[in-house]
Amino acid sequence: MLTLLKLLKDGRFHSGQALGAALGVSRSAVWKQLQHLESDLNLSIHKVRGRGYQLAAPLELLEQGQLDTSPWPVSINHSLDSTNAEALRAVDRGATAPFVVLAERQTAGRGRRGRQWVSPFAENIYYSLVLRMDGGMRQLEGLSLVVGLAVLSALREVGVSDVGLKWPNDVLVNNKKIAGILLELVGDPADVCHVVLGIGINVNMRVASEVDQAWTSVYLESGVAINRNVLVSKLNDSLRIYLKRHAESGFSAIQSEWEQNHLWQGREVSLIAGVHQVNGTVMGIDQQGALRMNVNGEEKVFSGGELSLRLRHDS
């Protein structure tokens, strides 16, 4: 089925006879594979008598050869439950970090707080980088915020100029989510552990009715479909630079840059944890990446993976 998809990815018409000859199968076998492409990958295929079969839109697949300059080994997967889940399984199997897991689609993509991450085939980037951490908690301080800056930098390089950050793990354009980050840790954070830096970027996605929040994509912002291999390469380079700075100097060296890119700096917000809500004004972040808020004239600091930050209606 993947071989057939590679034949069709150019978006041109291909006759059933030509496809069958290329695959070494009958035209009826080609027809069955086309049905699987439509049902399994939710791809739209035009069928025109006398002309053959054509994808509704050309596809740019992730290609190992275009990612050879990656600073880390990269595995590209046709379909996974989630790249983070596969990365954690690879750690369990004894894979040597650092390494990157990519997928063309996810069947059970995850966001923060148990949310689904909608992951259509060959439209976006589903990316997990696994790092081994030796030497305690300091290396984890503000790490998700550092990753956010790396994603921000990569998106600006491909022309998304209005992009900014929202504490703790969202990347937004005009208050619409274009990327998200999910960090997962296995092992002893006080000694030796592995951390998975999960990144989802909406790249060429145009329609996603199942997304339950305001979203956008590189395509919707620029009007141009981009090669995802190029963006993955820029993301790799950006992560390498920011992670090196973080490892050498700690999060405090990056704190000011993060605050300069925080879209909600100085805004009136509500911080929600379960059924509890705290209202205040964003002051910034501390040297560990925790959120600083003015609450009724008093500075308070908040951190934790289950917190949600929202703008107040009167902000």
**What is the per-residue pLDDT across 9-47, written as a single tens digit (0 to 9) for each?**
888 999 888 988 998 998 889 888 898 888 888 788 888
Residue 120 has pLDDT above 50, yes or no: yes
Confidence of residue 139 (pLDDT cuts 50, 70, 90): confident
Residue (of 185, 149, 194) closest to 167 by Cα position: 149
**What is the mean predicted confidence (pLDDT) over 90-98?**
96
Q: Is 112 annotated as a binding residue?
A: yes
Residue 281 has pLDDT above 60, yes or no: yes
Q: Are 202 and 231 in contact (CB under 8 A)?
A: no
**Per-residue model confidence (pLDDT) at position 183:** 94
Residue (of 251, 232, 305) closest to 83 by Cα position: 232
Confidence of residue 137 (pLDDT cuts 50, 70, 90): low
**Per-residue model confidence (pLDDT) at position 315:** 44
For the CA atoms of 113, 254, 98, 84, what is the dihedral angle to 10 degrees? 10
**What is the per-residue pLDDT across 141-191, written as a single tens digit (0 to 9) for each?**
899 999 999 999 999 999 999 999 999 999 999 999 999 999 999 988 778
The reported pTM is 0.90
Residues with Cβ within 8 Å of residue 197, at least 6 apart in sequence: 128, 129, 130, 131, 143, 147, 181, 183, 239
Q: Is 294 annotated as a binding residue?
A: no
Q: Is 111 annotated as a binding residue?
A: yes
- Measure the CA angle with vertex 76, ends 9 and 85; round to 5°: 125
Mean pLDDT score of the chain:
90
| Pairwise pLDDT comparison (236 vs 3), residue with the higher score | 236
- Measure the CA angle with vertex 222, ends 266 and 228; round to 5°: 105
- The least confident of 178-187, 209-218, 296-305 is 209-218
Residue 112 has pLDDT above 70, yes or no: no
Residue 255 has pLDDT above 90, yes or no: yes
Q: What is the CATH number of domain 64-259?
A: 3.30.930.10
**Per-residue model confidence (pLDDT) at position 189:** 78
Q: Where are the domains of the chain?
A: 2-55, 64-259, 264-311
**Per-residue model confidence (pLDDT) at position 42:** 78
**What is the per-residue pLDDT across 100-110, written as a single tens digit (0 to 9) for each?**
999 999 998 87
Q: Is 82 annotated as a binding residue?
A: yes
Would you identify the CATH topology of the domain 2-55?
Arc Repressor Mutant, subunit A (1.10.10)
**What is the per-residue pLDDT across 37-73, written as a single tens digit (0 to 9) for each?**
888 887 888 888 889 898 887 788 999 999 989 999 9
By annotation, the residues acting in catalysis are 112, 177, 310
Looking at residue 193, its amino acid is C
Residue (of 160, 77, 142) closest to 289 by Cα position: 142
The whole-angstrom separation of Cα 131 and Cα 146 is 14
Confidence of residue 305 (pLDDT cuts 50, 70, 90): low
| Pairwise pLDDT comparison (293 vs 114), residue with the higher score | 293
Would you identify the CATH topology of the domain 264-311?
SH3 type barrels. (2.30.30)
Residue 276 has pLDDT above 90, yes or no: no
**What is the mean predicted confidence (pLDDT) over 208-228?**
86
